[in-house]
Amino acid sequence: MTDVDRSSAQEYSLDRDCTTLSRHVLQELQSFSAEAQDLSAVMNRIALAAKLISRRLSRAGLVEGALGFTGTVNVQGESVKRMDIYANDVFISVFKQSGLVCRLASEEMEKPYYIPENCPIGRYTLLYDPIDGSSNVDINLNVGSIFSIRRQEGDDLDGNARDLLQHGRNQIAAGYILYGPSTMLVYSMGKGVHSFTLDPSLGEFILNNENIRVPDHGPIYSVNEGNFWQWEESIRDYIRYVHRHEGYTARYSGALVGDFHRILMQGGVFLYPGTVKKPEGKLRLLYETAPLAFLMEQAGGRASTGTQDLLDVVPEALHARTPLVIGSKEDVALVESFIQEGARESQETAMTRS
Ligand code: FBP
To 10 degrees, what angle do helices 256-266 and 290-298 make?
10
Q: Candidates 84, 91, 107, 132: which one to mutate for ligand 1, based on the most atoms within 8 Å of Cβ?
A: 132
Which residue has a Cα nearest atom 2 of ligand 1? Answer: 132
**Predicted confidence band of residue 58 (pLDDT cuts 50, 70, 90):** very high
Cβ(197)–Cβ(206) under 8 Å? Answer: yes
Atom of ligand 1 nearest to the CA of 143: 10
Report the alpha-carbon distance of residue 207 to residue 26 in Å, rounded: 13
β 173-179/220-222 pair status: unpaired
79 Cβ closer than 6 Å to some ligand 1 atom: no
- Count H helices, E strands: the chain? 8, 15
Q: In sequence order, what are the beta bridge partners of 303?
A: 326
Report the alpha-carbon distance of residue 225 to residue 270 in Å, rounded: 12
- How many whole angstroms from 143 Cα to the centroid of ligand 1? 10
In 10 A of CB 319, how many CB atoms? 17
pLDDT value at 43 more than 70: yes
**Global pTM?**
0.95
pLDDT value at 40 more than 90: yes
Please indicate whether residue 322 or residue 119 has the higher confidence score (pLDDT): 322
84 Cβ closer than 6 Å to some ligand 1 atom: no
Which range has the worst mean pLDDT, 130-134, 230-234, 244-248, 273-277?
A: 273-277
Range 90-114 average pLDDT: 92
In 10 A of CB 110, how many CB atoms? 11
- How many whole angstroms from 202 Cα to the centroid of ligand 1? 32
- How many whole angstroms from 128 Cα to the centroid of ligand 1? 15
Range 143-155 average pLDDT: 89
pLDDT in tens, 262-303: 999 999 999 999 998 899 999 999 999 999 999 999 999 999
- How many whole angstroms from 282 Cα to the centroid of ligand 1? 8
**Predicted confidence band of residue 184 (pLDDT cuts 50, 70, 90):** very high
* Reduced 3-state DSSP string for 188-249: ECCCCEEEEEEECCCCEEEEEECCCCCCCCCCEEECCHHHHHHCCHHHHHHHHHHHHCCCCE
129 Cβ closer than 6 Å to some ligand 1 atom: yes
pLDDT value, residue 155: 67
pLDDT in tens, 10-23: 776 777 777 899 89
In 10 A of CB 111, how many CB atoms? 14
134 Cβ closer than 6 Å to some ligand 1 atom: yes
- Contacts of residue 308, Cβ cutoff 8 Å, sequence gap at least 6: none
**Predicted confidence band of residue 121 (pLDDT cuts 50, 70, 90):** low
Give the CB-side neighbour count of residue 38, counting CA atoms within 13 A.
Answer: 19
Atom of ligand 1 nearest to the CA of 270: 12
- How many whole angstroms from 123 Cα to the centroid of ligand 1? 31
Q: What is the DSSP letter of 1?
A: -
Residue 263's alpha-carbon distances to 57, 147, 244, in angstroms, are 24, 19, 21
Cβ(207)–Cβ(23) under 8 Å? Answer: no
Q: What b-and-e string marks burial along 264-283, b requiring 16 or more CB atoms within 10 Å of the CB? A: bbebbbbbbbbbeeeeebbb
Mean of per-residue pLDDT scores for the chain: 93
255 Cβ closer than 6 Å to some ligand 1 atom: yes
Q: What is the DSSP letter of 284?
A: B
pLDDT in tens, 286-295: 999 999 999 9
- How many whole angstroms from 40 Cα to the centroid of ligand 1? 30
> What is the residue-wise DSSP string for 108-137?
T-SSPEE-GGGTTT--EEEEEEEEE-GGGG
Burial of 263: CB neighbours in 10 Å, binned 0-12, 13-18, 19+: buried
Q: Candidates 53, 57, 256: which one to mutate for ligand 1, based on the most atoms within 8 Å of Cβ?
A: 256
